[in-house]
Amino acid sequence: MTPRPSTMDAPTFFDVHDPATGAVVGRYPIADATAVEAAVARAETAAVWWRALGFAGRARLLDRWRAEITRGRAELAHVVAAETGKPISDARLEIVMALEHLKWAARNAERVLGSRPVSPSLLTIDHACRLEYRPFGVVGVIGPWNYPVFTPLSSISFALAAGNTVVFKPSEYTPGVGVWLAQAFDRVTGERPILQTVTGDGATGAALCRSRVGKIGFTGSTETGKRVMAACAERLTPVLMECGGKDALLVAADADLGAAADAALWGGLANAGQTCLGVERIYVHTEVYDAFLTELLDRARDLRAGAAPAEIGPITMPKQLAVIRRHIEDAVARGATVLLGGPDAVRGQFVQPTILTDVPEDAAAVVEETFGPTLVVARVGSMDEAIEKVNATEYGLGATVFARRGGDAIADRLRAGGTSINAFVAHATVPGLPLGGVGASGFGRVHGPDGLREFTYAKATTRRRFPSPLPLTTFARGVRTDALIDRLVGVRHGRIG
């Protein structure tokens, strides 16, 4: 990127390149700290209006935004494809998924977040109690480039439905997508700054973390996530961390091998493997290992990375090519068998599908996020062994299990934010289910009721309805009350065991 301007200068611009061809496909300003602060200040003012609309009023405008995105989906898909290099049909698919979540957030916000009565306890019987979930005001969303519609909208839709305004910092690789989404929102709100996009690089994101936002919703790599947390710590700004993964697919002895192979290929190679929930490791029961490999290779041989209409697009981020090459070369140097692709698969911006076996469990290709179209397949003697190996990494984002019987029992023992049985990534596409990780994959949730609550704080309110028969919080509390409470406590809590 071009050098950063001082705040006194006119904004500096940066170019966006089509990763497949290198052609310039866009030019956007780099927002510095002053520009970010100004966007947040506008969002604070707009938040008053947005909040006053109430759940129903916001849902109406979010529905209109959804219709606006739907009508413009072909154009939006072209922006996504131009900036990421992914096939246009994949770009369309992520828009469809994002629309489903947007609809769910708008429809369910009041049910999940609205005020509700809560029963008091015996000692607080004199109070009427209620709970509601209130918006922070302004939420900052920092997004990645790999699914530049689906991923940021998972935070943006839920934050907006909860009553926040949003300042969005898209990846420097996909700023046009962020600008398109905000412009579509402007068309339904008459340009009120409910959703603003600030373009720029990592420093723009850091400025957003240090601004007066009430929360940061971050999606990106674990390493950047740590920097985001450090910046947010300066103001004690809460953060949602949707970070990287090293997801595995497990194949039990009774699995449908054709379906498992199909899911493994799509899960591992779609979007050129640049998927947080992408399949990077496969553990196969020894009884079906050879048969599974045959199914996998039969299907993989016809897949090609290249310019459209190839099934697999380019690697979007040039520096990721070195990571993919290192993982393959390291595995081969440590004795891996190359069944498809291999070190020569990395050519220019494209990586041909690569399938490796006999890779040591501590190799980079098994423990680090590769983010390329590579699969490491390992034979296991039992599903217990598979579970142990899956759980051995620091990451814990998602997992896929293929088993005709006992899939739930396997899923329950996996340390992951979500597991899909007999399908790849289904749990991320069901709007009512939460999505997120544990360990190095982050914390907090998008989607579902948890995804709405993520962008709110819980507010408790009580109202005394009548004088308490047992006044506790007063200096007027007498010896009789103390004795009565002591007896009550003994009866309520001391009779166990």
Nearest distance in Å: CB 438, ligand NDP: 11
Nearest distance in Å: CB 144, ligand NDP: 3
209 binds ligand NDP (CB under 6 A): yes
259: Cα separation from own chain's centroid: 26
One-character DSSP codes across 244-273: ----EEEE-TTS-HHHHHHHHHHHHHGGGG
The alpha carbon torsion through 283, 288, 294, 296 (nearest 10 deg) reads: -40
Nearest distance in Å: CB 365, ligand NDP: 16
Segment contacting ligand NDP (CB under 6 A): 96-104, 190-198, 202-210, 251-259?
202-210
Identity of the residue, 82 or 284, whose beta carbon is nearer to ligand NDP in the bound complex: 82
Identity of the residue, 158 or 292, whose beta carbon is nearer to ligand NDP in the bound complex: 158
144 binds ligand NDP (CB under 6 A): yes
Binds ligand NDP by CB under 6 A, chosen from 32, 280, 369, 454: 369
- Contacts of ligand NDP in 458-487 (CB under 6 A): none
Segment contacting ligand NDP (CB under 6 A): 28-36, 103-111, 221-229, 372-380?
221-229
219 binds ligand NDP (CB under 6 A): yes
Binds ligand NDP by CB under 6 A, chosen from 40, 59, 198, 228: 228
Binds ligand NDP by CB under 6 A, chosen from 135, 214, 220, 407: 220
One-character DSSP codes across 98-130: HHHHHHHHHHHHHHHHS-EEE---GGGTTEEEE
Identity of the residue, 151 or 211, whose beta carbon is nearer to ligand NDP in the bound complex: 151
142 binds ligand NDP (CB under 6 A): yes
Tell me which residue of 448, 482, 497 sits closest to 109, measured CA to CA.
Answer: 448
Tell me which residue of 364, 371, 306 sits closest to 336, measured CA to CA.
Answer: 364
206 binds ligand NDP (CB under 6 A): yes
Please indicate whether residue 242 is annotated as part of the active site: yes
- How do 438-439 and 395-396 pair as beta strands? antiparallel
- Contacts of ligand NDP in 304-323 (CB under 6 A): 317
**Contact criterion met (CB below 8 Å) for 248 and 390:** yes
Catalytic residue among 242, 311, 368, 454: 242
For residue 320, give every residue at least 6 positions away whose Cβ sits within 8 Å of its Cβ, in sequence order, or none: 274, 371, 372
Binds ligand NDP by CB under 6 A, chosen from 145, 158, 289, 350: 145
Q: Order the strands of the 116-118 sheet from edge to edge.
A: 116-118, 127-135, 456-464
Residue count, binding to ligand NDP (CB under 6 A): 32
Identity of the residue, 397 or 416, whose beta carbon is nearer to ligand NDP in the bound complex: 397
Structure tokens at 285: 């029961």
Residue 383: what residue type? M
Nearest distance in Å: CB 66, ligand NDP: 21
Nearest distance in Å: CB 374, ligand NDP: 14
171 binds ligand NDP (CB under 6 A): yes
- Contacts of ligand NDP in 39-58 (CB under 6 A): none
Identity of the residue, 244 or 449, whose beta carbon is nearer to ligand NDP in the bound complex: 244
Structure tokens at 380: 């296991």
The alpha carbon torsion through 385, 387, 393, 396 (nearest 10 deg) reads: 180
Q: Order the strands of the 281-285 sheet from edge to edge.
A: 337-340, 354-357, 374-380, 281-285, 248-251, 398-402, 418-421
Binds ligand NDP by CB under 6 A, chosen from 263, 276, 293, 403: 276
* Integer CA distances (angstroms), 443 to 113, 127, 130, 218, 451, in order: 20, 35, 27, 10, 11
For residue 476, give every residue at least 6 positions away whose Cβ sits within 8 Å of its Cβ, in sequence order, or none: none
Binds ligand NDP by CB under 6 A, chosen from 59, 98, 194, 243: 243
* Separation of alpha carbons 447 and 97, rounded Å: 12
- Contacts of ligand NDP in 380-439 (CB under 6 A): 397, 437
**Contact criterion met (CB below 8 Å) for 377 and 293:** yes
221 binds ligand NDP (CB under 6 A): yes
- In sequence order, what are the beta bridge partners of 117? 130
Long-range own/partner contacts, residues 3-7 (CB < 8 A, 24 or more apart): 4/30, 4/32, 4/201, 4/203, 5/30, 5/32, 6/32, 7/32, 7/33, 7/34
φ, ψ of residue 359 to 5 degrees: the values are: -95, 130
Segment contacting ligand NDP (CB under 6 A): 98-106, 227-235, 372-380, 488-496?
227-235
143 binds ligand NDP (CB under 6 A): yes
Identity of the residue, 99 or 228, whose beta carbon is nearer to ligand NDP in the bound complex: 228
Catalytic residues: 242
Q: Which residues bind ligand NDP (CB under 6 A)?
A: 142-147, 151, 169, 171-173, 201-202, 205-206, 209, 219-221, 224, 227-228, 231, 242-245, 276, 317, 369, 397, 437
